[in-house]
Amino acid sequence: MPLKGAANKRGAGVGGERTAPEEPKPAQKFYSQAEKDGDVLDILLTDITPNPFNDIRTMGDLNALAQSIEEDGLLQSIVVMHTEEFVARWPQFADGPKAIKTKYVIAFGERRWRGTEIAGKPFISAVLNNAVIPKIRRVLLVENLQRQPYSPMEEARNFWRLHTEEGMSYREIAKEVKIGSTHVSRRLQLIALPESVQAAVEEGSLNVTDARRLEEALKDSPEEQEAAWRYAVQNEVPIKDAIQAINAGDVVVDEGQKDEGAPEGEGTPEGEQSDIPEQRTDSEQDSDGPDEPEQQNLPEAKPEQSLAPQEKPKPERNEPPAPKARASTAADRSARERNSAAADRTQACLHLVTSGFVPDEKQLNALYARTLLSPIQQGPAKTRAHAWLREAGKDVIGVSDSDSYFQAVLSSGNDDLVQLATFVTALAASEIRAKDNRRQWDRTDAAHVEFLIQAAGYVVATQWERDQLTKFGVTFDASTPTDEPVL
């Protein structure tokens, strides 16, 4: 009786002719399930690309690691992500010179990957984890900050990225990196400094304490910060003395100087806002005419003229500087008087805080209106107000960080303390606005000075400020001689 079923695949069928064996199915089709998170894979090293967000500057002794891997094997698998999913979230690595062409990207374990390569092994054990892709940059930043020492400016730039690009608050950064929130806020102060001052901190010629002192004392003016730093270097004086020289008007600040800010992609956020004051440089360039120096040099570049080599080259070069020098003198005097007036007003404001002056309802309403309805820099205003309160001995809570101080004031339940802090902050905001050398005065600034005249007995001692007040109809004592005669 013939057996049921098809012909015997290993030979001839029962009672039939011998047939050729069938081709076996590829083994991988039996294991054709898609790779998923948690899978442990053996991957060719050449199928893996290092993580572009990994900021490890030194890998340590890779030869020792390679020897360990060669002798004992890889003790811990690396973690990888699928490139296809990685570039979907981070499209800057999909095309162009930064494009990633391999199937996998390292999430964690680049040292082990490099050590395995040195050990001469073609494969490496890796755990797939695509879930970490959206937060990989944040995780790597925090991990590297915890694992290795950074310079102050490197810390500042990394904290800045976490704050602006990853949306982390100061407290969240401090918690993740396991440091104090005050350390984070102090490092982030460095980002607001001009590039030249940041470079000085980077190379170690300016210590962090003095850099922060520059930022706090001259918070609203990057030009003054840079001028103070250069003055300190050139005259070999402490930063404190340089700041005093700036406030006293002894140093001419180049208002047209344009600072480039932090390096692109490092210190400067793209389209983000922060409580760190912005460096407004575009308006400076527009208002002060950066092309003027080039125009002064134009007479030198006349190759088409058929002058003999000895034919009056020097007079042609030397004629333009005379009118330029006269214009510069007037501009220098104006800048010097404006800085001097700002220093005098600061002392008047501090006098109001120290004396315990209490404004009447009309004065208070006008002050608050100027603060609320005019563009102000709230962060710098709070910092300056806190400094005034400390200097006047009114900082009764004793918290060093300005943000924390004002939060403590609000939570104190002390109405008098809240009112004092609010008044001083509004006063500081008005003064910062008036001191800003990058803008022209308006009626709001004149009203601020009028308040100081009435409340603090402020004496208008510079011709520049007198001219501004006269323009807006503010009455002042003109019998007092000015600090400098007008030429």
pLDDT (tens digit per residue) in 176-226: 888 888 899 899 989 989 988 999 998 888 999 999 999 988 887 888 899
Decide if pLDDT at 316 tops 80.
no
Which 8-state DSSP code applies to residue 12?
B
Specify the higher pLDDT residue, 31 or 86.
86
Flag the least confident range among 65-79, 324-338, 347-361: 324-338
Assess contact for 448 and 427: CB atoms under 8 A: no
pLDDT for position 219 = 80
pLDDT for position 140 = 86
Do the strands 104-108 and 78-82 form a parallel or antiparallel pair, or are they unpaired? antiparallel
pLDDT for position 336 = 78
422 membership: H or E segment, kind and range: helix 415-435
Q: Is 327 strand, coil or helix?
A: helix
Decide if pLDDT at 76 tops 70.
yes
Can you list the alpha helix ranges (DSSP code H) found in 148-301? Answer: 152-164, 170-177, 181-189, 195-203, 208-217, 222-235, 239-247, 282-288, 292-297
Token pair of 312, please? 């009056």
Decide if pLDDT at 319 tops 70.
no
Nearest CA to 287 out of 349, 344, 231, 223 is that of 223
Decide if pLDDT at 95 tops 60.
yes
User: Ranked by mean pLDDT, which of 56-70, 282-296, 329-343, 411-425 comes out on top?
Assistant: 411-425
Which 8-state DSSP code applies to residue 473?
T
Can you list the alpha helix ranges (DSSP code H) found in 436-472? Answer: 443-456, 463-471
Assess contact for 133 and 104: CB atoms under 8 A: no
What number is the average pLDDT over the span 447-453? Answer: 94
Do the strands 40-44 and 48-49 form a parallel or antiparallel pair, or are they unpaired? unpaired
pTM of this prediction exceeds 0.85: no
Which 8-state DSSP code applies to residue 130?
G
pLDDT for position 332 = 65
Decide if pLDDT at 340 tops 70.
yes
Specify the higher pLDDT residue, 185 or 396.
185
Separation between Cα atoms, residue 199 and residue 149, nearest integer Å:
19
Q: Is 127 strand, coil or helix?
A: strand
Separation between Cα atoms, residue 321 and residue 324, nearest integer Å:
5
Model confidence band, residue 390 (pLDDT cutoffs 50, 70, 90): confident
Question: What's the one-letter identity of residue 195?
Answer: E
Decide if pLDDT at 275 tops 60.
no
- φ/ψ of 72, rounded to 5, equals -115, -5
What number is the average pLDDT over the span 130-142? Answer: 89
User: Ranked by mean pLDDT, which of 91-105, 299-313, 363-377 comes out on top?
Assistant: 91-105
Across the chain, what does the average pLDDT equal? 76
